Amino acid sequence: MLSGENNHAMPEISRRSDKNSCYRNISSYEISSSAEMPLKNFLPARHEFANKYDFGSLLIIAGSCGMTGAAILAARAALRAGAGLVTIACPHSERPIIAAALPEAMTLGLSEECGALAPSAAAEIMEFAKKRKISAILIGPGLSCSENIAVLVKNILENTCLPIAADADALNAISMLGGFRKISFPKKALPMIITPHEGEAARLLGKKIKKQKINRQNIENCQTRKKGSFESGTENYCCNKEISREQASMELAEICGGIVMLKGPGTLICHKSYDAKENGIFKIFRNDTGSSELAKGGSGDVLAGITAAIYMQNGIANGFTHKTACNSAVLAAWIHGKCGFYASAALNARSIIATDLIEAIPQAFNAAENL
């Protein structure tokens, strides 16, 4: 089993899932806007005399026949977001495509079946991660959906304590397995960031999520902090009804034990506070950047790469804690939205593609540094 370096003592986390539970331990929450956060303080430090190893080695487990683009986009975004080294673990047959498209990244060809990673690839990945001293893992973009992938994802999650960002098909695999309750996470596993969109979140919870009308005014109104309680009578949770995006993010944070980035207009970042003074309170941050230019295939892969890279760098510098993971996710969502702003300003919101977002990452970081 792989253990994470820079492992700060973590509270014991209960990861469970029960569609019939009303989650009575979800008692209170706070919602605020990312505009209220000191985002500049969340930027990974860049020392003048640092080397590439100081900024971490990220292993991206991604790609399959017909979906190599997801792996390429995530890796390129991670490099643009400051990762020192990036290796893409992919099916052996797809390795030439990925290597040719991204000379800055390394590739690891793995056992495959029908153009997708085989379950046996999990052991190869674990051996490589240990040998190469991998700092963090991003798993999911373009893996494809199958029983083999579900087994692969389960084996990896159960046999590493490294910090993980799980996206896309990794989340679909967990849903196929029956949810997080079917995965026996190591007790010393470092905080995970999951990045579902509403469809993936609904499958993970086995519940419908209410369609909410989001506009710029709604998001800006969240700059006034909102507090609530499921036991107050105003936000009571009912298992038999559709749940809100906020409720979905809290339930997912409860059952996965990590940080949830629920994507969509006004992306939500949620985690359960383990601070002694706020134990049990769910913190929700609503991102205030981004618009329709992000509504394009590949945008989520870019966000996954940015998120994993920022989390890895901050974790190396400050320890892989819930606070570090949450702050990294908040910054990543903000950066991603700003990429859309700068790309659409230079081009046109209709015309933006995921590669345009990656090219705008430097401008977005400049904006964060100048806050």
Instruction: Give pLDDT tens digits for 302-318.
Output: 999 999 999 999 999 99
**Residue 214, pLDDT score:** 62
pLDDT, position 120 = 98
| Residues 238 and 244: beta-carbon distance below 8 Å | no
Average pLDDT over residues 271-293: 85
Q: Work out the average pLDDT over 278-285.
A: 84
Structure token pair of residue 362: 């430097």
Separation between Cα atoms, residue 180 and residue 204, nearest integer Å: 8
Give tens-digit pLDDT for 192-245.
Answer: 999 999 999 999 999 999 987 666 555 555 544 455 544 322 233 344 568 999
Per-residue pLDDT band for 28 (boundaries 50, 70, 90) equals low
pLDDT, position 64 = 98
Residue 106 structure tokens: 């390394």
Q: Any idea where the domains of the chain sit in the sequence?
A: 28-369
pLDDT digits (tens, 9 = 90+) for 70-108: 999 999 999 999 999 999 999 999 999 999 999 999 999
Say whether domain 28-369 belongs to CATH 3.40.1190.20.
yes
- pLDDT tens, position by position, 123-180: 999 999 999 999 999 999 999 999 999 999 999 999 999 999 999 999 999 999 999 9
Query: Tokens 């944070």 — which residue?
Result: 253
Q: Which residue has the higher pLDDT, 276 or 222?
A: 276
Contact present, 155 and 2 (Cβ < 8 Å): no
What does the pLDDT read at residue 1? Answer: 72
* HEC per residue, the chain: CECCCCCCCCCCCCCCCCCCCCCCCCCEEEEEEHHHCCHHHHCCCCCCCCCHHHHCEEEEECCCCCCHHHHHHHHHHHHHCCCCEEEEEEEHHHHHHHHHHCCCCEEEEECEECCEECCCHHHHHHHHHHHCCCCEEEECCCCCCCHHHHHHHHHHHHCECCCEEEECHHHHHHHHHCCHHHCCCCCCCCCEEEECCHHHHHHHHCCCECCCCCCHHHHHHCCCCEEEECCCCCCCCCCCCCECHHHHHHHHHHHHCCEEEECCCCCEEEEECCCCCCCCEEEEEECCCCCHHHCCCCHHHHHHHHHHHHHHHHHHHHCCCHHHHHHHHHHHHHHHHHHHHHHHHHCCHHHCCHHHHHHCHHHHHHHHHCC
Dist CA 98 CA 318 (whole Å): 32
What pLDDT is attached to residue 4? 61
Query: Cα–Cα distance between 336 and 72 in angstroms, integer?
Result: 17
